[in-house]
């Protein structure tokens, strides 16, 4: 007898979720909540450092934390979104809509911002005592955070609800006796 294997979820790794797009979207939403919390924490730290006119030695660790969050958590999250959402968008026909394409293209903008932050951080390490370099790199970090938060909000407000509207209704199950 041949056993059918269930596909693993691209988001959580749990078996069976790949067959349930609503669960995939909910898992992405949960990741958004966690990522937004961390982004807001880093944003507050950068704002405080900016107001205090902090030295590079205080700014660099916060920016390195932001870069690590981008590389280790946000970039993998975006890859999971691509693997999960793009097939659903194609099947639903939503991928042809300009507004949806703009949201999906936002991932490329986030990657560009990440590269810009990395370069600015490297420059700051070389020009550690230059006040203008510190101000610039804090502004870049704040800009990266703003772009990501706005992107997440657009996915939450527009993309996910539109996808869910286009998903087939879940089959009704008879009540358990």
Per-residue pLDDT of the chain (177 residues; tens, 9 = 90+): 443 333 444 444 443 334 588 999 999 999 999 999 999 999 999 999 999 988 889 999 999 999 999 999 999 999 999 999 999 999 999 999 999 999 988 877 778 888 889 998 998 888 766 888 899 999 999 999 999 999 999 999 999 999 999 887 655 455 554
The partner residues of 15 in beta bridges, in order of sequence, read: 8
Q: What is the distance between the alpha carbons of residues 120 and 130, in angstroms, rounded to a whole number?
A: 13
Is residue 29 within 8 A of residue 125, CB to CB? The reply is no
| Longest Cα–Cα distance in the chain | 72
Q: What is the pLDDT of residue 129?
A: 67
Q: What is the pLDDT of residue 4?
A: 38
Neighbours of 3 (CB within 10 A): 5
Q: Where are the alpha helices (DSSP H) in the chain?
A: 21-51, 56-69, 75-92, 98-126, 131-154, 160-166
Q: What is the pLDDT of residue 128?
A: 63
Residue bearing tokens 């992405």: 28
Q: What is the distance between the alpha carbons of residues 151 and 157, in angstroms, rounded to a whole number?
A: 10
Q: What is the distance between the alpha carbons of residues 144 and 115, in angstroms, rounded to a whole number?
A: 10
Helices 56-69 and 98-126: crossing angle in degrees, nearest 10, is 150
Q: What is the pLDDT of residue 113?
A: 82
Residues 6+ apart with CB under 8 A from 130: none
Domain boundaries, the chain: 22-166
65-68 long-range contacts (CB < 8 A, ≥24 apart) are 66/42, 66/117, 66/141, 66/144, 66/145, 67/114, 67/117, 67/118, 67/121
Q: CA angle, corner 125, sides to 119 and 130, nearest 5?
A: 105
Could you tell me the pTM of the whole model? 0.80
Q: What is the pLDDT of residue 1?
A: 43
Q: What is the CATH number of domain 22-166?
A: 1.20.120.520
């Amino acid at each position: 007898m041949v056993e059918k294997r269930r596909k693993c979820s691209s988001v959580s790794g749990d078996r069976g979720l790949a067959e349930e797009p609503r669960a995939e979207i909910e898992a992405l939403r949960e990741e958004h909540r966690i990522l937004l919390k961390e982004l807001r924490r880093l944003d507050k730290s950068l704002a405080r450092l900016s107001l205090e006119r902090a030295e590079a030695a205080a700014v660099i660790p916060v920016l390195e934390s932001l870069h690590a969050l981008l590389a280790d958590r946000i970039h993998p999250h975006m890859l999971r979104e691509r693997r999960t959402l793009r097939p659903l968008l194609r099947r639903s026909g939503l991928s042809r809509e300009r507004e949806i394409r703009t949201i999906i293209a936002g991932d490329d903008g986030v990657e560009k911002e990440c590269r810009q932050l990395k370069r600015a951080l490297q420059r700051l390490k070389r020009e550690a005592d230059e006040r203008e370099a510190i101000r610039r790199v804090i502004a870049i970090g704040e800009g990266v955070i703003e772009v990501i938060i706005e992107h997440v909000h657009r996915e939450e407000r527009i993309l996910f609800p539109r996808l869910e509207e286009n998903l087939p209704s879940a089959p009704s199950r008879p009540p358990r006796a």
